[in-house]
A = this chain, B = another copy of it.
Amino acid sequence: MVTIYDLAKATGFSAPTISKALNGNGKLNPKTREKILNAAKEAGYTPNMAAKSLSTKHSKLIGVILEDVAMLRGFEHPLFGGLLNRFRHEIEMAGFDLLFLSKNFNDGMSYIDHCKYRDVEGIIVVNPIDDDPEIQTLGSCGIPCVSTNEFIPGICTVVSENEEAGHIAARKFFECGHRKIGFLGAPMRENSPAAIERLRGFRDELKLCGMEFEDKYLEICDAWFDKSGYEGMKRLYERCPDITGVFVVCDSLAFGAMKYLAEMGLKIPEQISLIGFDDDTTAVSAAPILTTFRQDRDRIASLSAEMLLQVMAGIPVPHIVRVPTQFIDRSSVKII
């Protein structure tokens, strides 16, 4: 391993001068800088981040909260995987590495201890465990944070225009002549905007259309899995066989619902119309007909990175940043 002392010896300058040349800060004779930079290149010098981190208190590490327990799916989550690719790219361009925060160390190290352990400079909350009390304290732990999707006190959240999407879905059904429209939802937690906001927009738009959304048309699935969608659709359909359309809060659930409908011999959209949410790419060609909303992963990710970097720089950011969704009108809504 080549150190700045090796470079000092090789060039005849002192360690602090080497440091200055390498980091480009402070006044320095251009020739000196050039000599040092050349020597560094020649020697194949790579700085040691542990030493740097120790003396500067800057680890150049961004903590990521991404859990994979039970319903969460960690890296496998269709939305968050894509989001992380882009976030990682942005953050690396800014000279940071990702560090996945975990409670698996020792006897369950907390996120915040993990951050202290690694001197993490900022945190992005992607996929937290439901009702984890520690998440609620993140806003006041002193480490800059940004959240995608989940609302957390004192933290900027970057999230899709869910309510607007709900409006669009309801309007679409209404304009296509549907009057008995179900909503297949997922567990609604106060801090998790997705399901609540989509339902709210949906409800409000129906009202604007002069309809009243009846509670019997609302069915909540017990999780965000295909299987839950299958079961939820079963309950909804058995209770309300008169429905002609269903807005499903996400594609995974919609796929489960489609499976149930297929088993019942109900054709989409001939006998029942469907709108999903997420446009899960893997499944697109397997279920090419589903009308859905595409969340702008790239924009959510790059805005999250931007907001986080700003918070880290002490620049104020809005409490909520909204990102439009894209309505993808395939062929799963029938005009009746």
Report A's interface with B, CB cutoff 8 A: 1, 46-51, 53-54, 59, 68, 73-78, 80-82, 84-85, 88-89, 92-93, 95, 97-100, 102, 104-105, 113, 116-119, 226-227, 229-230, 252, 255-256, 258-259, 262, 280-288
Look across to chain B and name the residue whose beta carbon is closest to the beta carbon of A68. Answer: B85
CB <8 Å contact, B75 and A119: no
CB-CB under 8 A from A88, the residues of chain B are: 74-75, 100, 102
When all copies of this chain in the complex are counted, the total is: 2
CB <8 Å contact, B280 and A282: yes
CB <8 Å contact, A59 and B50: yes
Which one of A75, A113, A252, A284 has the greatest number of beta carbons of chain B within 10 Å? A75
Closest CB pairs A-B (n = 9): A286-B287, A92-B104, A50-B53, A226-B285, A75-B81, A76-B81, A286-B286, A74-B85, A283-B283
CB <8 Å contact, B68 and A92: no
CB-CB under 8 A from A97, the residues of chain B are: 99-100, 102, 118
Query: Can you list 7 A-B contacts (CB < 8 A)?
Result: A74-B84, A75-B75, A92-B104, A229-B285, A255-B286, A256-B285, A258-B285
Q: How far is the CA of A49 from the CA of B99 in the complex (A)?
A: 13
CB <8 Å contact, A74 and B68: no
Q: How far is the CA of A54 from the CA of B284 in the complex (A)?
A: 49
CB <8 Å contact, A85 and B76: yes
Q: How far is the CB of A191 from chain B (nearest CB, A)?
A: 24
CB <8 Å contact, B46 and A117: yes
CB-CB under 8 A from A226, the residues of chain B are: 284-285
CB <8 Å contact, A282 and B78: yes
Q: How far is the CA of A98 from the CA of B97 in the complex (A)?
A: 10
Q: How far is the CA of A287 from the CA of B285 in the complex (A)?
A: 9
CB-CB under 8 A from A262, the residues of chain B are: 288
Look across to chain B and name the residue whose beta carbon is closest to the beta carbon of A230. Answer: B285
CB <8 Å contact, A259 and B282: no
Look across to chain B and name the residue whose beta carbon is closest to the beta carbon of A44. Answer: B113
CB-CB under 8 A from A282, the residues of chain B are: 78, 252, 255, 280, 282-283
Q: How far is the CB of A233 from chain B (nearest CB, A)?
A: 11
CB-CB under 8 A from A105, the residues of chain B are: 92, 95
User: Quick one: given A74-B85, A78-B282, are A104 and B99 in contact (CB under 8 Å)?
Assistant: no
Q: How far is the CA of A113 from the CA of B280 in the complex (A)?
A: 36
CB <8 Å contact, B230 and A259: no
In-complex Cβ contact of A255 among B82, B99, B118, B285 (8 A): B285
